[in-house]
Amino acid sequence: MIKIAVLVSGSGSNLQALIDANLSGQIAGVISNRPEAYALQRAEKAGIATAVIEHKQYPAREFFDDAMHQQLLAWDIDLVILAGFMRILSAKFVKAWEGKMINIHPSLLPNYKGMHTHQRVLNTGDSLHGCTVHYVTAELDAGQALAQGVLKVNVHDDANSLATRVHVLEHIIYPQVAEWICNGTVQHTQQGVLYRGQLMQEPVQFCKL
Ligand code: GRF
């Protein structure tokens, strides 16, 4: 059985969706860089081991990342899921977990990497928006996309309503992709990412118009 660690910094609604999905893998631990993150309470309520590793207590990013790396090794983790984890990871850490670490980003990547995606979508006047689950690579929000949730931007949408609507999609596609990795539907190989045994060319799209 695949052992999963979820890295969080905040509310952890995506963590909750992963817990509620009863994955065929085991969520073996949750790491937060912030002791006050509500996600920690969600994990404890579900009986999942937690670790608080505060970035502020380390003199440099590499030391903080190394502490997380050691915790992941101690839990014998196979898959790292970033769920609202608000720290940039060092290249060394990303390399160590390459092909074993996924993230969810609130935009239709490659559009709108980085922050404030909902407002940027509104500013541009895009008709479609959504979220993307992708493998994590050294370049921010640039690893291979595995799945996208797509929605239509309404005339009355503001950044808050878009955030809420995108969250609904996140809670559907993130557990789905996690399960695909747990049960071997998605595999990261030397040849590339396989989906149902075939090279994956494009992310699987889920629509909620
Ligand atoms: C989500 O919007 C996700 O796209 C981004 O961080 C947020 C996490 O929300 N990476 P939550 O803590 O899971 O509620």
What is the tens place of the pLDDT at every residue in 7-47?
Answer: 999 999 999 999 999 999 999 999 999 999 999 999 999 99
Enter the pTM of the model. 0.97
Q: Which residues contact 119 (CB under 8 A, 6 or more apart)?
A: 159
Query: Ligand 1 centre and the CA of 198: distance in Å?
Result: 30
- Over residues 130-149, the mean pLDDT reads 95
Q: What is the pLDDT of residue 109?
A: 97
76-89 pLDDT, tens digit each:
999 999 999 999 99
Residues framing ligand 1 (Cβ under 6 A): 10-14, 83-84, 104-106, 131, 170
Q: Which among 27, 28, 30 has a CA at the least distance from the CA of 10?
A: 30
Indicate which residue of 105, 129, 171, 188 is catalytic: 105
Instruction: Average the pLDDT over 71-77 and give the result.
Output: 98
Q: In the prediction, which pLDDT does 208 show?
A: 81
Domains of the chain (ranges, CATH numbers) = 1-97 (3.40.50.170), 105-209 (3.40.50.170)
Is 87 annotated as a binding-site member? yes
CB–CB of 30/48 below 8 Å? yes
Q: Is 116 among the residues known to form the active site?
A: no
Cβ pair 133, 206 in contact under 8 A = no
Is pLDDT at 141 greater than 90 in this prediction?
no
120 is in an annotated binding site: no
> Binding residue per annotation — 79?
no
